[in-house]
């Protein structure tokens, strides 16, 4: 199978060095094969899991005992340079705010925009990070899920449910590192909302929050509030 399909043995070699995220594996394979779609990596990971060569715990992929027996560890060491995170990714990991900090900034932006802004808003048995409404009794017009890490599948499930139920505008707030994982899921399992959802980097939320806060303070100072 590895002789017929590019990337399978490469994944084993990459994971022989260390457990990796989807984005790290995808980055290495794109550089080698020039792929443009995330699903090419994702499908191969699925095949290797079903064959028993790799496993996934949380967001991390790693080799099973069978996978370790199948790979040449001496060759695998040569792959380590291709999967090191970039300086930008390291910097972002060090500077990114917490989930609650980003959530609270979105809540404040809504309030400053004169929206009815609420956090931990219930939708059936789940809770949405932030919603904005036009009126208190109305349905959410804007729905936000913040994923600095964690379970993207769950976040997108909640957003799709909000779209099905209320036809809300959907926003997924995340980091550079995880944008690829989110886009991959939207190309596959959540293709119905691919064209309606907006993926926003947390830096844009922070930038907007600071601008809104400054404008509100200035209006208040000159008596427009």
pLDDT along the chain (225 residues), means of 10: 82 89 86 76 89 90 90 54 51 68 95 94 92 95 88 86 95 85 80 91 93 90 82
pLDDT of residue 73: 52
Q: Is the dihedral of CA 38, 46, 187, 128 positive or negative?
A: negative
Determine the CATH number of domain 99-221.
3.40.1350
pLDDT of residue 88: 53
Report CA dihedral (90, 26, 148, 118) to the nearest 10 degrees: 150
Q: What is the CA radius of gyration of the chain?
A: 21
Q: Where are the domains of the chain?
A: 8-84, 99-221
pLDDT of residue 189: 76
Which of 136, 132, 91 has the alpha carbon at shortest distance from 115?
A: 132
pLDDT of residue 200: 93
| Cβ within 8 Å of residue 47, ≥6 positions away | 1, 8
Distance in angstroms (rounded) separating the CA atoms of residues 26 and 98: 26
What is 8-84's CATH topology? Arc Repressor Mutant, subunit A (1.10.10)
Q: Which residue has the tokens 């060491």?
A: 77
Which of 192, 128, 196, 188 has the alpha carbon at shortest distance from 162?
A: 128
Identify the three-state secondary structure at position 4. coil
pLDDT of residue 74: 46
């Amino acid at each position: 199978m590895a002789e017929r399909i590019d990337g399978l043995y490469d994944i084993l070699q990459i994971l022989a060095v260390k457990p990796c995220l989807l984005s790290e594996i995808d980055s290495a394979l794109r550089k080698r094969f020039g792929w443009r779609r995330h699903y090419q990596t994702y499908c191969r990971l699925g095949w290797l899991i079903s064959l028993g060569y790799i496993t996934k715990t949380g967001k991390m992929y790693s080799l099973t005992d069978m996978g370790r027996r199948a790979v040449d560890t001496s060759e695998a060491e040569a792959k380590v340079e291709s999967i090191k995170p970039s300086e930008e990714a390291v910097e972002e990991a060090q500077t990114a705010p917490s989930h609650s900090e980003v959530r609270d900034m979105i809540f404040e932006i809504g309030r400053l925009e004169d929206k009815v802004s609420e956090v931990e808003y219930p939708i059936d048995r789940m809770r949405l990070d932030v919603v904005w409404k036009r009126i208190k009794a109305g349905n959410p017009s804007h729905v936000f899920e913040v994923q600095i890490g964690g379970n993207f599948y769950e976040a997108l499930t909640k957003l799709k449910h909000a779209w099905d139920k209320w036809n809300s505008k959907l926003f997924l707030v995340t980091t550079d590192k995880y944008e690829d994982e989110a886009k991959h899921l939207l190309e596959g399992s959540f293709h119905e909302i691919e064209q309606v959802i907006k993926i926003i980097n947390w830096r844009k939320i922070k930038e907007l929050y600071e601008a809104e806060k400054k404008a509100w303070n200035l209006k208040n100072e000159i008596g427009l509030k």
